[in-house]
């Protein structure tokens, strides 16, 4: 049951999102300096950048004796997207991105809390510059989740759940060799025609499979499945209009060894808009297709509008 204070807050913020957002942008003039330029500084030509954003969202709705129906709910979502960039006068380039998103939803009358989001992704690229924009590259990427995932169902009228995933089950690891194009902080593209990929899982899930069945593409009594193919990945950011920024993270993978026509893709699009110094919002559309995971299109959508605080 919600307290009186929560009820009063919900009447004012019903359907709204409280966002705490902070971002440290790179200096525009500095981005125009080529990576191989001799930068006169105390760092002796090295350049190190840290930037990103973090947000904490709350969605709440409260109903009591509401004749048209409705369920009280509370959703909390935390997101961290942070970058580390390093370069020096010899042409060495090292770009790393850390993405963490975790959220949970409480619905009145439900026995269990349910996830709103759960993602951990680390991407790191090490390159040697060819010219101002192109570099030879080696890529490492890992994706997984933090908390167990469940399938919910009702048994004899009682809500129950079954654990279907957990940390590093599945975990997707990718490495690749190729070329890296980075014109600015707003656009980068990595082409890896030689890319190894692995899906790792716990044997606790594969040992109970029936013959011929698979768990996220991994066979019975196995804990890993290997792939070899080509990977295209990148990032694109554009200011659509004043106070409206469109960000995109994308990747496409083709497996040379099997099911070549089944192209896996991951596209995460985020539109951030700022109405004024107090009001802001964002719209997230995440489309994911991986034939070895569930063999169907996965869709995640989030729309938030609320109060913005610059830190």
> What does residue 99 show for φ and ψ, rounded to 5 degrees?
-120, 125
Indicate the range of 134-148, 155-169, 284-298 predicted with least confidence.
Answer: 284-298
Structure tokens at 205: 């899930």
102 secondary structure, DSSP code: E
- pLDDT surpasses 60 at 38: no
pLDDT of residue 305: 59
* Tokens coding 116: 């709103």
Burial string for 55-69 (b: 16+ CB within 10 Å, else e) reads: bbbbbbbbeeeeeee
User: Long-range pairs for 260-265 at CB < 8 Å and ≥24 separation?
Assistant: 262/291, 263/289, 264/289, 264/290, 264/291, 264/292, 265/289
Highest mean pLDDT among 1-10, 35-44, 70-79, 86-95: 86-95
Instruction: Identify any residues that bridge with 218 across adjacent strands, giving them in sequence order.
Output: 215
Taking Cα atoms as reference points, which of 64, 59, 66, 76 lies closest to residue 2? 64
The two structure tokens encoding residue 162: 């079954």
Arithmetic mean of pLDDT over the chain: 80
pLDDT higher than threshold 90 for residue 25: no
Q: Which tokens hold the place of 193?
A: 């025609």
Separation between Cα atoms, residue 276 and residue 91, nearest integer Å: 41
Q: What is the per-residue pLDDT for 23? A: 40
Please count the other Cβ atoms lying within 10 Å of the Cβ belonging to residue 34: 13
Residue 26 DSSP one-character state: P
| DSSP reduced 3-state for 30 | helix
Distances in Å between the Cα of 210 and the Cα atoms of 91, 180, 215, 285 are: 53, 43, 10, 36
CA distance 165 to 145: 9
- Condensed to tens digits (0 to 9), the pLDDT of residues 111-124 reads 899 888 899 999 99
Work out whether strand 244-255 and strand 264-274 pair parallel, antiparallel, or are unpaired: antiparallel
Q: What is the pLDDT of residue 73?
A: 84
Q: What is the pLDDT of residue 74?
A: 85
Mean pLDDT of 4-29: 40
pLDDT band at 143, cuts 50/70/90?
very high
**Least-confidence region, from 26-35, 88-97, 135-144, 235-244:** 26-35
Q: pLDDT band at 279, cuts 50/70/90?
A: low
Sequence spans of domains, the chain: 4-307
Higher per-residue confidence, 154 vs 306: 154
Confidence (pLDDT) at 308: 44
Rounded to an integer, what distance in angstroms lies between the CA atom of residue 52 and that of residue 22?
Answer: 8
Q: Looking at residue 28, what is its pLDDT? A: 41
Q: What per-residue confidence (pLDDT) applies to 36? A: 39
Average pLDDT over residues 135-163: 92
What is the pLDDT at residue 39? 38
First to last CA, the chain: 33
Distance (Å, whole) CA 46 – CA 44: 6
- Say if residues 17 and 58 touch (Cβ distance below 8 Å): yes
pLDDT higher than threshold 50 for residue 311? no
């Amino acid at each position: 049951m919600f307290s009186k204070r929560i009820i009063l807050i919900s009447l004012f913020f019903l359907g709204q999102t409280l966002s705490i957002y902070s971002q440290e942008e790179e200096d525009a003039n500095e981005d125009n300096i080529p990576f191989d330029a001799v930068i006169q500084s105390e760092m002796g030509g090295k350049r190190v950048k840290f930037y990103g954003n973090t947000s904490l969202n709350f969605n709440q709705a409260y109903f009591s004796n509401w004749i048209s129906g409705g369920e009280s709910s509370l959703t909390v979502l935390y997101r961290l997207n942070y970058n580390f960039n390093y370069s020096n006068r010899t042409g060495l380039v090292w770009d790393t991105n850390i993405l963490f998103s975790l959220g949970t939803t409480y619905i009145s009358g439900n026995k269990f809390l349910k996830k709103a989001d759960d993602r951990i992704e680390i991407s790191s690229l090490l390159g040697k510059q060819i010219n101002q924009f192109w570099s030879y590259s080696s890529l490492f990427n890992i994706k997984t989740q933090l908390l167990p995932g469940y399938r919910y169902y009702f048994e004899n009228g009682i809500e129950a759940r079954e654990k279907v995933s957990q940390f590093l089950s599945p975990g997707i690891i990718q490495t690749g060799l190729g070329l890296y194009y980075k014109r600015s902080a707003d656009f980068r593209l990595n082409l890896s025609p030689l890319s190894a990929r692995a899906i790792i899982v716990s044997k606790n899930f594969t040992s109970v499979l029936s013959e011929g069945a698979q768990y996220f593409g991994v066979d019975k009594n196995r804990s890993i499945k290997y792939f070899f193919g080509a990977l295209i990945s990148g990032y694109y950011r554009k200011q659509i209009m004043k106070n409206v920024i469109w960000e995109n993270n994308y990747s496409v993978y083709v497996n040379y060894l099997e099911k070549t026509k089944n192209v896996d893709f991951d596209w995460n699009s985020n539109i951030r808009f700022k109405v004024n110094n107090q009001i802001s919002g964002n719209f997230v559309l995440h489309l994911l297709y991986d034939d070895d995971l569930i063999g169907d299109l996965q869709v995640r959508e989030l729309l938030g509008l609320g109060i913005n605080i610059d830190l």
